[in-house]
Amino acid sequence: MQSICVFCGSNPGFNPSHLSLARRLGTLLAQRRLRLIYGGGRVGLMGAVADAALSGGGEVIGVIPQLLLDREVGHTGLTQLHVVSTMAQRKAMMGDLSDAFLTLPGGIGTLDEFFEAWTWTQLGLQHKPSGLLNQDGYYDPLLEFLDRSVAAGFVHPASRAAVLIDTDLERLLEQLASWR
């Protein structure tokens, strides 16, 4: 694993531990010489991950739609910033540039990105691991829903098992690195 795509909130959220987590992830990625691929924003958890990775000497590649760049949320200090036309192009390019996906807390956009990457793997369009960091039980309701979807016959158990889930960032990074 050389490049990891991180999905997370464009807002910092109300729990300060989420912002600390984003910073810690950026630092760990730089220390492990893992290239960060992310949505290109300078705000929220996204900006915190990028800033920490850059501060640690890491390589950071952002992918942002022109619409968001026009709203002045694009990060101008990245190793590389790709500007695309649509959100779909953003997700496709982030996926192409990445070896694995890691999802931190976030909102609707974060969930959209997480589900699309997971769907690509389920359909065999890619063979890349997806990890979900469940800090402070943030994703507990989502995991309950996914389990309910399996029980109701809408999600295959093997597809559910394909998502790596942990409450510890370093353990989850190790799982992503060793995934086959």
Residue-wise pLDDT for 80-89, tens only, equals 999 999 999 9
Question: Does 4 reside within a domain?
Answer: no
Which residues of the chain fall below pLDDT 70? 1
Query: Are residues 106 and 74 part of one domain?
Result: no
Query: Are residues 105 and 82 part of one domain?
Result: no
Structure tokens of 143? 């995991």
pTM: 0.95
The pLDDT of residue 103 is: 98
Residue-wise pLDDT for 95-133, tens only, equals 999 999 999 999 999 999 999 999 999 999 999 999 999
Of 87, 108, 135, the last residue of a domain is 87
165: which strand partners? 132
The pLDDT of residue 71 is: 85
Structural domains in the chain (count): 2
- DSSP-H helix ranges across 32-152: 44-55, 66-70, 87-97, 108-122, 140-151
Question: Does 3 reside within a domain?
Answer: no
Query: Are residues 43 and 17 part of one domain?
Result: yes
Task: List C-alpha distances in Å: 122 to 28, 101, 115, 161.
Answer: 28, 14, 10, 11
Query: Are residues 56 and 117 part of one domain?
Result: no
For residue 16, give its domain range: 10-87
